């Protein structure tokens, strides 16, 4: 096996196929995907995020799905109680969210109209919460739409990009494919309704037991994704409209 190099592990559109919703010179969100061991052995900007399980890193916003809902509310995170979802504020901080098991997430970034710098938000949501009850569905969708609309208003046209992360195809021996597929379709549909373009699914679902951690470097628009297993079709990026074809690889 060749030495792991995060820079050689793109899981987003290659440069020659950049999406048409971005102006020339505006980078798409790109991803480096590896196992925790690989990231620790080859530390780059993600070394602090994946060094251990201690968070609270200076300059990094902890998008903590497991935090006390009252604490999240005080920090302007959208949330609807434990085991629901968390959507970060929009700002210029790097972002970190850990232990995506069945949960999915969305990262959205754009250039601030006033400052010209990258600003972004990251979500972490549980399909078990919003797929099984209409009121939960409505609450999550309302909060996601509000955050998307807020970022769209703050950012210059042609500078916004969005990517979907996380998800699980199996839970032990139990198939979770229906929840995963429905979650991806929901996130893609709502994102496209507000932003006007189809987001990229930056990696497919996990097909091995375990969770994944996500670190987003705001300035470079680079996602670092630590997951239990890589090197198969589930590590590839795709458009939600290609979901049926991509599923055959899992």
**Is 25 part of a structural domain of the chain?**
no
**Is there a domain that residue 134 lies in?**
yes
At residue 38 the predicted structure's pLDDT band, cuts being 50, 70 and 90, is confident
Residue 48 binned pLDDT confidence (cut-offs 50, 70, 90) = low
Helix (H), strand (E) at residue 179: helix 177-195
pLDDT-derived band of residue 8, with 50, 70 and 90 as boundaries? very low
The reply to whether 232 falls in a domain is: no
Q: How many domains does the chain have?
A: 1
Please, which residues bridge with residue 175 across strands? Answer: 170
How confident is the prediction for the chain on average, in pLDDT?
87
Q: Does 19 fall in a domain? A: no
Per-residue pLDDT for 2 more than 50?
A: no
Q: Which of 35, 25, 77, 61 is nearest to 228 (CA)?
A: 35
CA distance linking residue 121 with residue 35, whole number of Å: 24
Whether 184 maps to a domain, the answer reads: yes
Lowest mean pLDDT among 1-5, 131-135, 195-199, 217-221: 1-5
d(CA 146, CA 154): 12
Q: The domain containing residue 122 runs over which residues?
A: 62-210
pLDDT at 107: 98
> Does residue 78 belong to any structural domain of this protein?
yes
Question: Would you state the pLDDT for residue 47?
Answer: 61
Residues 6+ apart with CB under 8 A from 151: 90, 108, 110, 119, 120, 121, 160
- Tell me the pLDDT tens digit for each residue of 65-111: 999 999 999 999 999 999 999 999 999 999 999 999 999 999 999 99
pLDDT at 165: 97
Q: What is the pLDDT of residues 50-60, one digit of tens each?
A: 665 444 566 78
Does some domain include residue 7?
Answer: no
How far, in Å, CA of 231 to CA of 113, rounded? 39
Among all chains, which residue has been given the structure tokens 């290659």?
14
User: What's the pLDDT tens digit per position in 142-184?
Assistant: 999 999 999 999 999 999 999 999 999 876 566 678 999 999 9
Q: Give the CATH number of the domain where residue 195 resides.
A: 3.30.1330
CA dihedral 41, 47, 48, 50 (to 10 degrees): -60
Instruction: Answer whether 4's CB lies under 8 Å from 198's CB.
Output: no
Task: Give the end-to-end CA distance of the chain in Å, rounded to a whole number.
Answer: 22
Residue 249 confidence (pLDDT): 86
pLDDT of residue 13: 41
What number of other Cβ atoms are within 10 A of residue 62's Cβ? 18
Name the residue among 69, 80, 77 with its Cα closest to residue 136: 80
pTM over 0.85: yes
Backbone angles phi, psi at 39, to 5 degrees: -65, -40
**Cα(170)–Cα(101) distance, rounded to whole angstroms?**
10
Query: Percent helix, strand and coil across the chain, each rounded to 5?
Result: 30, 25, 45
- For 109, which DSSP code? E
Whether residue 79 is contained in a domain is answered as yes
């Amino acid at each position: 096996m060749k030495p792991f190099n995060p820079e050689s592990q793109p899981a987003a559109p290659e440069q020659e196929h950049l999406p048409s919703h971005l102006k020339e010179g505006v980078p798409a969100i790109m991803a480096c995907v590896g196992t925790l061991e690989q990231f620790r052995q080859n530390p780059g900007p993600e070394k602090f995020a994946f060094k251990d399980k201690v968070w609270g890193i200076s300059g990094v916003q902890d998008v903590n799905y497991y935090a006390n809902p009252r604490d999240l509310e005080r920090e302007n995170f959208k949330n609807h109680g434990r085991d629901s979802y968390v959507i970060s504020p929009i700002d210029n901080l790097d972002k970190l969210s850990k232990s995506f098991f069945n949960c999915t997430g969305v990262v959205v970034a754009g250039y601030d109209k006033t400052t010209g710098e990258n600003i972004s938000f990251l979500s972490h949501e549980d399909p078990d919460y919003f797929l099984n009850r209409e009121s939960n569905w409505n609450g999550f969708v309302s909060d996601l739409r509000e955050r998307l609309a807020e970022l769209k208003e703050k950012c210059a046209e042609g500078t916004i990009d969005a990517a979907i992360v996380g998800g699980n195809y199996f839970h032990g021996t139990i198939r979770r494919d229906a929840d995963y597929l429905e979650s991806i379709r929901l996130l893609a549909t709502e994102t496209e309704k507000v932003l006007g373009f189809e987001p990229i699914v930056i990696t497919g679902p996990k097909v091995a037991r375990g969770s994944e951690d996500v670190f987003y470097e705001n300035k470079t628009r680079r996602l670092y994704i630590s997951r239990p297993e890589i090197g198969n079709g589930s590590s590839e990026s795709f458009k939600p409209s290609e979901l049926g074809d991509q599923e055959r690889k899992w």
